[in-house]
Amino acid sequence: MSLINRLDTRSPEFRAQLTALLAFEAGEDAAIERTVADILTDVRTRGDAAVLEYTRRFDRHQPADITALEIPRSEWLAALDALPAAQRDALEAAAARIRSYHEHQRAETWTYTEADGTVLGQKVTPLDRVGLYVPGGKAAYPSSLLMNAIPAKVAGVQEIVMVTPTPDGTRNQMVLAAAAIAGVDRAIAIGGAQGVAALAYGTATIPAVDKIVGPGNAFVAAAKRRVYGTVGIDMIAGPSEILVICDGHTPADWIAMDLFSQAEHDELAQAILLCPDADYLAEVESSIARLLPTMPRADIIRTSLANRGALIQVRDLDEACEIANNIAAEHLEISTREPERWADKIRHAGAIFMGRYSSESLGDYCAGPNHVLPTSRTARFSSPLGVYDFQKRSSLIQVSAQGAQTLGKLAAELAYGEGLAAHARSAEYRLDTGADATTTDSTAVSTDTSRT
Amino acid sequence: MSLINRLDTRSPEFRAQLTALLAFEAGEDAAIERTVADILTDVRTRGDAAVLEYTRRFDRHQPADITALEIPRSEWLAALDALPAAQRDALEAAAARIRSYHEHQRAETWTYTEADGTVLGQKVTPLDRVGLYVPGGKAAYPSSLLMNAIPAKVAGVQEIVMVTPTPDGTRNQMVLAAAAIAGVDRAIAIGGAQGVAALAYGTATIPAVDKIVGPGNAFVAAAKRRVYGTVGIDMIAGPSEILVICDGHTPADWIAMDLFSQAEHDELAQAILLCPDADYLAEVESSIARLLPTMPRADIIRTSLANRGALIQVRDLDEACEIANNIAAEHLEISTREPERWADKIRHAGAIFMGRYSSESLGDYCAGPNHVLPTSRTARFSSPLGVYDFQKRSSLIQVSAQGAQTLGKLAAELAYGEGLAAHARSAEYRLDTGADATTTDSTAVSTDTSRT
């Protein structure tokens, strides 16, 4: 097996090779689906009792009762105090930058008034209550907690309820510290499909939320998919991806390490480099070979690069941009001179890292933008997690007495055309010429106190 | 069976009664799910041949080949020319108002520059290509076509591909005329799960799209749910709902007809009135009794009101607003004096119609805001269809050489804390103090042409 795949856009097989490389089918596991469906029904029906039973079984610890699963704020604050100063400072600095960036995303209510006095617009409001899923054990990333919770708070969400499994009763102190920094409101030591179910349906002790966000394993993902509609959910993420466009003048080690930083997440993660310079690609391959043995997660990186990674020689950077638009990668690094020139040509990417200094890892932690990004080509139609995911809009329609004359005639014409007579007559009642023939109280209009 | 349910918030059973009234479970039909799964796989594998076969079978007509299913633009323009002038004028006026309203929703790219030269922001781009599902037969509403297509065009979507089934080969002329007005780019006479599959996966003659919007039957809804992830989809709508808050001073016939205008859609549609005045509620009930026999769709309205409709006496308008926030209705009419006062208290609703003249039917057709709205309490976390559904965002991160020093240290601290060494080292390479110990080409930094 080679270290990493080598492709060339000039090869007649290139398109087929690229398609094969990108192919990833999430696939449904029937056993997981059945288990999750049962757990959801059970929690919906039996509430706290079911949550407690599943937690005892799956997380292997024995809370006395459901209230013992609430993690009190004093415990988060203690975790925060116990953090080494450098780590705490870094988390707080990252949180401040994330908050500051996301404040640019807050949408505001708007209206406009037409000549006849009719007012139209949209009212923007935050969601009332959001559920935040935080994985337990080793996959618990405090940075991920910040990225999910802070946009909700910036949006104005009143209450964030965090659930996180505590396998064998172990509570992740970094996660609790991050929860305190991010402004989470409640933390409950439950996870899995039972945690999602409790948030979606509510129980006697756990309040039902309006939306559930945050990463999780296959059970959590299946549960989120199933409760969608009852509550909102964020995107179900696929394996992480980085695509680097390089002009061949960034230190090869930098680019090799950038590819590693994606590959170290997961054997299924995908790291691809596009460059017009064959010598440079060879140089990066040498860097990979030399640096790989020094990495703590070398095995994961090796598998990821061999199966899903690629160094692709392109004709030029224009072609690289075309390919990038087709791949619609989660992370796109444009490691070139004048990166703006190439960024202008990019239509589809979760995040665009411009210039040689913008390594993806800076964006993962502290640049400010969200690291929850669309994967698996979904950047063609979706966006990074943001404040807009925790706000929603209500149309505002305040038709003036005068406006109702024009609009009423229009609406009636169209409604009759669609065979919807009640729609038409409801509009016609508001016409000054009187309501339609069946109306007996045409004088009633004059009792309308709002009409002046 | 009574004409319409009567509830009173002072009754001890009120909460339970309201919950029962609102309960609606979409429910999955296993037979539909299986059929749809098979059709999707078949179209994905066999492309046009499968699309053609299903169309012949389900739509009962015999196109010569797949190209015969393309509805040429000349045919839409002929349909537009054949429209009665009043109808055409009304459609065009409605389209202009919808366009003008939605132009307020267009988001723009933004960036800001930090003191050290680091640039952060978000690039906003339209989706490339959108699929628009338009039901065939009697449920084909030209107004719905305008509401789905115009926001996409305002967003800047390059190509809208419409699919619409033509049962027995009959092409709905109103729909074709509306397609011409709305700026649809292609129209193909296919529907059902096979239509959704063709749009999601693409075939030799039908291009794959990035998102599919528009209403459809249970097969279409199931197909959309299943292709979600491959493409984006809009919300799967439940039965339509109207909630009216009235102070008892709007002509009772107006309110009765407003309730009818929702109930006439569907036996499952829901129409509810909240009012503190018992006499007024009785008056509206009389209006319902008197007006109902005059309605062309009286049977549908009668079933809807008897099963799912309600006149609810509330203590006061404050309580009405609380209940409205709990119901989170698709359409909320505030038919009172000073409607702004009550609208300010509303947090959850698809659209808010303010004042006695703002009948829901005006919003359905021509006020300007979208009539595709969140149903079944999903207004707690989602929004009307809008331009924002056809735009997406890419984070922009351009870290300056100086910015990389601060951010690099932060990111490295957090990455090591999470056990992700490649992330840390990728950040450390960008530090002036040189990369970490394993780097052999610390001089390479000086070859970085972007660093000045």
A148 three-state secondary structure: helix
Catalytic residue status for B75? no
Per the structure block, which two tokens stand in for B114?
A: 């930090």
- Classify residue A73 by its DSSP letter: H
- Classify residue A442 by its DSSP letter: G
H helix or E strand, kind and range, residue A79:
helix A73-82
Does the pTM exceed 0.90?
yes
The answer on B61 and B40 residing in a single domain is yes
The answer on B205 and B66 residing in a single domain is yes
Cβ(A393)–Cβ(B433) under 8 Å?
no
Rounded to an integer, what distance in angstroms lies between the CA atom of residue B383 and that of residue B374? 6
Q: Count each helix (H run) and each strand (E run) in chain B, helices first.
A: 17, 14
Residue B449 and residue A337: Cβ atoms within 8 Å? yes
Domain boundary among A367, A382, A407: A367
> What is the pLDDT confidence band of residue A138, given thresholds at 50, 70 and 90?
low
User: Is A418 known as a binding-site position?
Assistant: yes
Angle at A449 between CA A447 and CA A451, to 5 degrees: 100
Average pLDDT over residues A411-435: 89
Domain boundary among B343, B367, B391: B367
> What is the per-residue pLDDT for B86?
94
Q: Which of A125, A381, A416 to probe the B interface (max B CBs under 10 A)? A: A381
The answer on B68 and B16 residing in a single domain is no
The answer on A403 and A283 residing in a single domain is no
Q: Which of A346, A355, A293, A294 is nearest to A320 (CA)?
A: A346
- The Cα of A293 is separated from the nearest Cα of chain B by a number of Å equal to 11
| pLDDT tens, N- to C-terminus, chain B (452 residues) | 689 999 999 999 999 999 999 988 777 788 999 999 999 999 999 999 999 999 999 999 899 999 999 999 999 999 999 999 999 999 999 999 999 999 999 999 999 999 999 999 999 999 999 999 999 876 678 999 999 999 999 999 999 999 999 999 999 899 999 999 999 999 999 999 999 999 999 999 999 999 999 999 999 999 999 999 999 999 888 899 999 999 999 999 999 999 999 999 999 999 999 999 999 999 999 999 999 999 999 999 999 999 999 999 999 999 999 999 999 999 999 999 999 999 999 999 999 999 999 999 999 999 999 999 999 999 999 999 999 999 999 999 999 999 999 999 999 999 998 899 999 999 999 998 644 333 333 333 433 434 33
Number of domains in chain B: 3
Rounded to an integer, what distance in angstroms lies between the CA atom of residue B317 and that of residue A228? 32
* Strand partners for B310: B5, B272
Candidate from A138, A422, A445 with C-beta closest to B257: A422
Per the structure block, which two tokens stand in for B56?
A: 């012949």
- The Cα of B52 is separated from the nearest Cα of chain A by a number of Å equal to 26
Nearest CA in chain A to B211: A381
> What is the per-residue pLDDT for A450?
40
Rounded to an integer, what distance in angstroms lies between the CA atom of residue B52 and that of residue B32? 20
The answer on A40 and A16 residing in a single domain is no
Q: Which position among B264, B283, B331, B333 bears the catalytic label? A: B331
User: Is A240 known as a binding-site position?
Assistant: yes
Q: Determine, yes or no, domain membership for B165.
A: yes
The answer on B305 and B160 residing in a single domain is no
Residue A410 and residue B368: Cβ atoms within 8 Å? no
The answer on B191 and B85 residing in a single domain is yes
A6 three-state secondary structure: strand
Residue A125 and residue B424: Cβ atoms within 8 Å? no
Candidate from B101, B353, B366 with C-beta closest to A411: B366
Rounded to an integer, what distance in angstroms lies between the CA atom of residue B202 and that of residue B188? 13
Candidate from A253, A369, A423 with C-beta closest to B441: A253
Q: Say if residue A447's pLDDT is above 50.
A: no
Cβ(B174)–Cβ(B83) under 8 Å?
yes
Cβ(A354)–Cβ(A334) under 8 Å?
yes
Burial of B24 from C-beta contacts in 10 A (0-12 / 13-18 / 19+)? middle
Per the structure block, which two tokens stand in for B160?
A: 């809208």
Cβ(A232)–Cβ(B382) under 8 Å?
yes
CB within 8 A of A71, min separation 6: which ones?
A171, A176, A187, A188, A189
Q: Which of B157, B330, B319, B310 is nearest to B241 (CA)?
A: B330
Rounded to an integer, what distance in angstroms lies between the CA atom of residue B311 and that of residue B287? 13
> What is the per-residue pLDDT for B139?
66
Rounded to an integer, what distance in angstroms lies between the CA atom of residue B207 and that of residue B209? 6
User: Is A62 known as a binding-site position?
Assistant: no
Residue A272 — left, alpha, or beta (φ > 0 → left; ψ -120 to 50 → alpha)? beta
Candidate from B105, B374, B422 with C-beta closest to A295: B422
On chain A, the residues whose CB falls within 8 A of the CB of B342 are: none
Domain that residue A408 falls in: 399-448
Q: Determine, yes or no, domain membership for B34.
A: yes
The answer on B80 and B206 residing in a single domain is yes
> What is the per-residue pLDDT for B69?
96
Residue A120 and residue B388: Cβ atoms within 8 Å? no
Tell which wins on pLDDT, A437 or B12.
Answer: B12
> What is the per-residue pLDDT for B140?
75
Average pLDDT over residues A237-251: 96
Q: Determine, yes or no, domain membership for A113.
A: no
- What's the alpha-carbon Rg for chain B, to the nearest Å? 27
The answer on A45 and A13 residing in a single domain is no
Q: Which of B206, B96, B79, B81 is nearest to B140 (CA)?
A: B79
Residue B65 — left, alpha, or beta (φ > 0 → left; ψ -120 to 50 → alpha)? beta
Q: Which residue is listed with tokens 């945690």?
A: A195
- The Cα of B22 is separated from the nearest Cα of chain A by a number of Å equal to 13
Nearest CA in chain B to A393: B383
- Classify residue A370 by its DSSP letter: -
Per the structure block, which two tokens stand in for A59?
A: 């997380």
Q: Determine, yes or no, domain membership for B378.
A: no
B392 three-state secondary structure: strand
CATH code of the domain in which B336 resides? 3.40.50.1980
Q: Determine, yes or no, domain membership for A404.
A: yes
Average pLDDT over residues A366-390: 97
Rounded to an integer, what distance in angstroms lies between the CA atom of residue B82 and that of residue A212? 50
Q: Could you tell me the CA-to-CA distances from B434 to A303, A307, B430, B444 in Å, in that order? A: 29, 32, 8, 10
CB within 8 A of A154, min separation 6: which ones?
A99, A102, A103, A105, A106, A387, A390
Domain boundary among A200, A233, A266: A233
DSSP helix, strand, coil percent of chain A (3-state; round to 5): 50, 15, 35
The answer on B403 and B343 residing in a single domain is no
> What is the per-residue pLDDT for A136?
86
Q: Determine, yes or no, domain membership for B418.
A: yes
Nearest CA in chain B to A353: B397
- The Cα of B40 is separated from the nearest Cα of chain A by a number of Å equal to 14
Q: Which of A437, A322, A359 is nearest to B401 (CA)?
A: A359
Q: Which of B138, B157, B335, B393 to probe the A interface (max A CBs under 10 A)? A: B393
Lowest mean pLDDT among A34-48, A176-190, A224-238, B255-269: A224-238
The answer on B444 and B353 residing in a single domain is no
The answer on B137 and B103 residing in a single domain is yes
Q: Which position among B264, B285, B330, B360 bears the catalytic label? A: B330
Nearest CA in chain A to B89: A410
pLDDT in tens, A317-370: 999 999 999 999 999 999 999 999 999 999 999 999 999 999 999 999 999 999
Candidate from B143, B261, B384 with C-beta closest to A414: B143
- Classify residue A72 by its DSSP letter: -
Nearest CA in chain B to A424: B361
Cβ(A161)–Cβ(A131) under 8 Å?
yes
Q: Which residues of A are catalytic?
A: 330-331
pLDDT in tens, B222-264: 999 999 999 999 988 889 999 999 999 999 999 999 999 999 9
